[in-house]
Amino acid sequence: MKAYYACLDTGFVKYCPQPLQHLAIGDKAKKLDGDVSFYTMEDFETLATQGIAKGKIEEKPAVSGIIYFTVRQFFYGGSFDLKFMRFILDKGYEVHFAREDISIPTAESLDELFPMLYSAQHLLERDEPRDSWRPVWDWVETHQHQESAS
Amino acid sequence: MDTSKFAEKGYDIVAAGNPDKLAELRAQIHRKARELAGDGEDDPEEFMNNFHRLELRGPELNKLRMELIKYVSDNLDVAQTIYEAFSGYLTELVGPDIVVQKTTNLVIQQPGDPDQVPTHRDAPLNSPFEVVVWIPLVSVYGTKGMYVLDRKNTDVSLQMLKNPESGYEDQTRFATEQGDILSMPFGHALFFWPGLVHAVGVNTEQETRWALNIRYKNLFAPSGAKGQAEFFEVLRLSPLARLALEYEKGAYA
């Protein structure tokens, strides 16, 4: 049986609490004939960079891949973080998403799914009322302003 | 391609430009359904129309339906087939860069079955930029079909919901009385805007209704509450979009 890291969405805990995110990720692991061996989640301060997930991958864990709660976790930096997704795949790990039921096991599948991921990020940025996401976006905007000022 | 009725009323019934695609799809669904049921006619339309005579009820019926939906989802490329059958009309409505609902719904409504979808509209939960394609696998007429309120009557019915006491009951009654009953032979599809109020009543005819429904929209049109990546997958891209997305991919790396 395959083992996976679960990576919960810190920015969405208010709307989908951790136990529900665990259920969704566990269900995705079962669809992949696997199980979750460990879970992690970012701090608010690392949402945009996925610093904690990156640190875990650098440890070269004995898992087949990472199951995220949602693709939105790759959007917190203000655009789709294609570079980090490629980094994970280049390290030999699969990337999966529970909420969207999407699997990206290889660089080729990432190429195939790029139009969907790109358009999803653009629609979210353009159309979703910030009020529904305020705690996260307020933090991200503040953070971005601080970065551009420094 | 004439979409004037769709623009005015919010819906239209359209004959397939490529009906053979629909016939093959129905034949595949029929073969699997007959295998699962273990009985029934050789002819797809006869089998589906007379499905209630097999007297499958309750959990037995639900099991067959779930297995059939799984078969359809896993083995038949319904979204592509429906696109090929109606490509001209669909492209006219949503453009050349198309995303489609990931799963196709299959509904089997036997005569007298009291379990029915309530009066409702799909948008604003779904995106108002989608088009719903409803494809009966048998000829539909009277209560074997569905009814829909056009744009004008939808607006009237939505005003009724402002009455907290009887709003929903009033709307349902209005929809039943004023809704356009949709009759069409197999080989046609109903295209409707998701903001229209629609419903099905109890099927009081002597035949079972089988119908598919699925939603299409433009790649960059708003996705509604259901979410772009959650609800849709890419069906086709124009040469320009392919070029631009390749360019963007390079810029992101």
The domain that contains B70 carries what CATH number? Answer: 2.60.120.10
What is the phi-psi region of residue B95: left when phi exceeds 0, alpha when psi lies from -120 to 50, beta otherwise? Answer: left
Does the pLDDT of residue B232 top 80, yes or no? yes
pLDDT for A147 beyond 60: no
Backbone angles phi, psi at B162, to 5 degrees: -70, -15
pLDDT of B193 above 60: yes
Query: Which of the 8 DSSP states describes residue B99?
Result: E
Average pLDDT over residues B238-250: 94
Cross-chain residue pair A83–B233, CB shorter than 8 Å: no
Count of domains in chain B? 1
Pull the structure tokens for residue A2.
């395959």
| Statement: residue A15 has pLDDT above 90 | no
Say how many domains are in chain A: 1
- For B206-229, write each residue's pLDDT tens digit: 999 999 999 999 999 999 888 999
- Which residues from chain A sit within 8 angstroms of residue B245, using beta carbons? 114-115, 118
Residue B33's domain comprises 4-251
Arithmetic mean of pLDDT, B37-54 = 94
Q: Residue B164: CB partners within 8 Å, gap ≥ 6? A: none
**Contact yes or no for B121/B197 (Cβ under 8 A):** yes
* Interface of chain A toward chain B, CB-CB under 8 angstroms: 71, 79-80, 82-83, 86, 97, 99-102, 111, 114-120, 122-124, 126-127
Quick one: pLDDT at residue A131? Answer: 62
Q: What is the mean pLDDT of chain A?
A: 90
pLDDT of residue B124: 87
Provide mean pLDDT across the span B161-186: 91
- Residue A52 to residue A66: CA distance in whole angstroms: 13
Domain that holds residue A138: 2-149
- B-chain CB neighbours of A75 within 8 Å are none
Question: What CA–CA distance (Å, rounded) separates B191 from A56?
Answer: 49
pLDDT, residue B19, reads 95
Cα–Cα dist A146/B47, whole Å:
67
- Which segment of B41-45, B97-101, B247-251 scores lowest on mean pLDDT? B247-251
Q: Residue A61 is part of a domain; what is its CATH number?
A: 3.40.50.1390
**Confidence class for position B171, pLDDT limits 50, 70, 90:** very high
pLDDT band (50, 70, 90) for residue B250: confident
Instruction: Test A120 with B249 for CB contact under 8 angstroms.
Output: no
CA distance B222 to A79: 17
pLDDT, residue A134, reads: 62
pLDDT in tens, A121-130: 999 988 876 6
Instruction: Output A30 or B114, whichever has higher pLDDT.
Output: A30
ipTM of model over 0.90: no
